[in-house]
Amino acid sequence: MKFWEYLLKIDRRIVFLLVGLSVLIPLIFPFRIKTNVMPYTQKLFDVIEEIDPEAQGILISADYDPQTMPELHPMFIALLRHAFARKIPVLVMTSYIQGPGLAKQGLDQVTKEFNSQAMTNADSLIYGRDYVFLGFPPLWLAAVLRMGSDISQAFPADYYKNRTASLEMMKKIKNYNDIGIIVSIAGSAIPQSWVVYANTRFGVKVGSGATAVTAPDFYPFLQTGQMSGMIAGLKGASEYEYLVHTKYNLTGPTPATKGMSSQSIAHLTILILVVIGNIGYFATRRTRES
Amino acid sequence: MQRTIPLMIVLIIGIAMLIQFFIPHKISKEIYMNFLDWLGIIASFALVLGLGSLINHHIDKIQRKREHWQYSWVTLISILIVAIIGLFGGMEGKGPLPVQPQIMIGNKLIVIKYSIQTIYDNIITPLGGTMFALLAFFMSSAAYRAFRARTFEATLLLIAAFIVMVGVVPIGYYISPKLPHLAQWIMDVPNTASKRGILFGVGLGVAATSLKIMLGIERNWLGGGK
């Protein structure tokens, strides 16, 4: 009987150790695992594929902070690669005070990747011509509403203190009419606010990148079409990496894909622990009842 | 008077904003844009007030030696250091005082950029990541202890959690190619139905509360107890 009781009360330090090892070992010795693309990831990818780079740009809002960075930053990188590979003008902003640092890191990394392979000036990614980093607006909601009529008014200066209206790209992209899709990458309900204030009011398409925990909140919006697609969790990020890298033959690092072996084993470990707990529970139930 | 004027402002502005939403006229849009400017100005005051209030709270805590008062020093010193670096170093070390201390470690010369980005990359990012990573351990321990098939409802929850947890990771496909689709169905149908119900409730609640504030029935936002 003691064995069954032990199954019910495994020391939490052992649980922590098992989970730690199930994350760490596959990270050190990763194994290849087939990527099965889910419909909402594919949908977002397809919407971005349909954007005409001559007519419209894409706005990526990095609405996350370092806490959710491991899950969300790979999405940001994959989206940037997708947009740059298609030569779509990219606008980046953030609604989190801690967001600009991460957005800048991501932009620097991806532009470096593309520029290292560029052969001509036209192939290169040039700030102000191909992408603009708007930074963080102190009053996010007012900025979102104002961008509907004039982006340069909502952000008179960009992150680097340039006059936004003077940038070459901004002469083409004035307001939401010139944006093919807004993708909000967040670990909170921010994408929902983008739907309410940008999609409902101005009709611009909105997509989201969400942590696995917050993703279920957005399903009602995906079903109604108010949200045009979603990358959900690290798995979603790995799917997007797969789609972009396969289609455009890109070679940059794919942290989400690498994390999949760890995540798979960690999930299985937790499930095995839950099964063990339940076996112990049923084996000792009669004793407890008597 | 102290209460009547703010209540009147809220009532008039609230109704004006409500009406302008349905009138896509140039004047209406102009008024709306002006209100957005005001919003920015008010928010700037709120920022100063918030910072003042935070500093006062921690100074008071230290003076009265309340529980965990030592941590208040950490907050105050952090505010001071970040403010100095922000004001004189700027976001990327291009401020009016671009000092760049240099340290030799072995043969390597390390230049410390006097900027907010340095603090961000070296302190905020690792600390934030560590805090969130700890969640994985606590969640797994909690799942092991709490996920017991005690009742019919708990069993249903357990089965759904099982399918979703395995279905959303790539290994689920190897267990059964149908598992990811089953997980997707759970997210698409039962999950969305419940979420939609909650959203309707929240939406109606927000509308009711907004109306109560505009009509002066709900006055908690005015502060000052009764």
Contact A232, A41 (CB under 8 A): yes
CB contact under 8 A, A274 and B128: no
Say yes or no for a CB contact (<8 Å) between A216 and B191.
Answer: yes
- Report residue A78 as tokens: 């994959």
Asked if A219 and B33 come within 8 Å (Cβ–Cβ), the reply is no
Q: What is the pLDDT of residue B79?
A: 93
Question: Residue written as tokens 């009709």?
Answer: A203
| Interatomic CA distance for residues B16 and B19, integer angstroms | 5
Does residue A76 have a pLDDT over 70?
yes
Answer whether A184's CB lies under 8 Å from A71's CB.
no
Q: Hey, what amino acid is at B206?
A: V
Residue A207 forms beta bridges with which residues?
Answer: A183
For B63-78, the pLDDT digits (tens) are 999 999 999 999 999 9
Please classify residue B34 by burial: count the beta carbons closer than 10 Å to its beta carbon, then call 0-12 exposed, 13-18 middle and 19+ buried.
Answer: exposed
The 10s digit of each residue's pLDDT in A90-131 is: 999 999 888 898 999 999 999 999 999 888 888 899 999 999
Say yes or no for a CB contact (<8 Å) between B47 and A19.
no
Q: Which helix (H) or strand (E) holds B103?
A: strand B102-105
Using DSSP's 3-state secondary structure scheme, residue B24 falls into coil
Q: How much is the pLDDT for B97?
A: 66
**pTM given for the model:** 0.86
Best A264, A276, A289 residue to mutate vs chain B (most B CBs within 10 Å): A264
Instruction: Output the pLDDT for position A1.
Output: 61
CA distance B55 to chain A (A): 19
| Contact (CB, 8 A) for A130 and A92 | no
Structure-model confidence comparison of residues B17 and A61, the more confident one? A61
CA angle A61, B39, B44 (to 5 degrees): 85
B148 interaction partners in chain A (CB closer than 8 Å): 277-278, 281
Who among B39, B121, B174 is closest to A142 (CB)? B39
Q: What is the pLDDT of residue A289?
A: 74
Decide: helix, strand or coil at residue B91: coil
ipTM over 0.90: no
pLDDT in the model for residue B163:
92
What pLDDT is attached to residue B44? 83
What gap in Å lies between CA A227 and CA A199, rounded to an integer?
8
Q: Is the Cβ–Cβ distance between A148 and A198 less than 8 Å?
A: yes
Segment A60-85 mean pLDDT: 94
Give the confidence band of A234 by pLDDT, cuts at 50, 70, 90.
Answer: very high
| Residues from chain B contacting residue A102 (CB–CB below 8 Å) | 125
The whole-number average pLDDT for the span A232-254 is: 92
User: What's the pLDDT at B23?
Assistant: 86
Contact of A198 with A182, CB cutoff 8 Å: yes
Q: What pLDDT does residue B98 have? A: 58
Report CA torsion sign: A27, A30, A34, A35.
positive
| pLDDT at B173 (0 to 100) | 86
CA atoms within a 13 Å half-sphere pointing along the CA-CB vector of A260 = 26
Is the Cβ pair A16, B191 closer than 8 Å?
no
Q: How many Cβ atoms from other residues are within 10 Å of residue A32's Cβ?
A: 9
**Mean predicted lDDT score pLDDT of chain A:** 92
Taking the CA of residue B54 and the nearest CA in chain A, the distance in Å comes to 17
Q: Do A278 and B148 touch (CB under 8 A)?
A: yes
Encode A172-204: b = buried (16+ Cβ within 10 Å), e = exposed.
ebbbbebbbbbbbbbbbebbbbbbbbbbeebeb
Q: From residue A78, how far is each of A5, A234, A255 by CA, in Å?
A: 48, 12, 10
Q: How far apart are CA A62 and CA A140, in angstroms?
A: 13
Residues of A with CB below 8 A from B173's CB?
34, 36
Token duo for residue B112: 């410390």
The pLDDT assigned to A199 comes to: 94
Residues in chain B: 226
Give the mutation candidate from A15, A158, A240 for the B interface (greatest B CB count, under 10 A). A15
In the block, which residue shows the tokens 């789609």? Answer: A243
d(CA A191, CA A96): 12
Separation CA A198–CA A54 (nearest Å): 22
How many Cβ atoms are within 10 Å of A160's Cβ, its own excluded? 14
The pLDDT of residue B99 is: 62
Q: What is the pLDDT of residue A176?
A: 95
More confident site: A200 or B21: A200
Distance from CA of B32 to the nearest CA of A (A): 10
> Could you tell me the CA-to-CA distances from A142 to A86, A154, B39, B166 in Å, in that order?
31, 8, 7, 41
pLDDT along chain B (226 residues), means of 10: 87 89 84 83 87 96 94 95 86 69 78 80 88 88 88 91 87 87 92 93 94 89 68
Q: What is the 3-state secondary structure (H, E, C) of chain A?
A: CHHHHHHHCCCHHHHHHHHHHHHHHHHHCCCCCCCCCCHHHHHHHHHHHHCCCCCCEEEEEEECCHHHHHHHHHHHHHHHHHHHHCCCCEEEECCCCCHHHHHHHHHHHHHHHHHHHCCCCCCCCCECCCEEEEECCCCHHHHHHHHCCCHHHHCCECCCCCEHHHCHHHHCCCCHHHEEEEEEEECCCHHHHHHHHHHHHHCCCEEEEECCCCHHHHHHHHHHCCCCCEEEHHHHHHHHHHHHHHHHCCCCCCHHHHHHHHHHHHHHHHHHHHHHHHHHHHHHHHHHHC
Angle, to 10 degrees, between the axis of helix B152-167 and the axis of helix B179-186? 120
A180 touches A205 (CB < 8 A): yes
Within 8 A of B140 by CB-CB distance, chain A residues are: 15-16, 19, 266, 269-270, 273
Task: For residue A210, count other CB atoms closer than 10 A to its CB.
Answer: 28
Check pLDDT > 70 for residue A63.
yes
Q: Which residue of B has its CA nearest to A21?
A: B137
d(CA A158, CA A161): 5
Cβ distance of A66 and B125 shorter than 8 Å: yes
At A225, the pLDDT band (50, 70, 90 cuts) reads: very high
| Cβ A82 vs Cβ A45: under 8 Å | yes
Tell me whether residues B170 and A20 touch, CB distance under 8 A.
Answer: no
**Dist. CA B9–CA B12, nearest whole Å:** 5
Q: What is the mean pLDDT of residues A175-188?
A: 95
A18 neighbors A257 (Cβ within 8 angstroms): no
Q: Is the pLDDT of residue A7 over 60?
A: yes
Residue B106's pLDDT is what?
Answer: 80
Integer angstrom CA distances of residue B168 from A30, A200, B71, B157: 18, 30, 41, 16
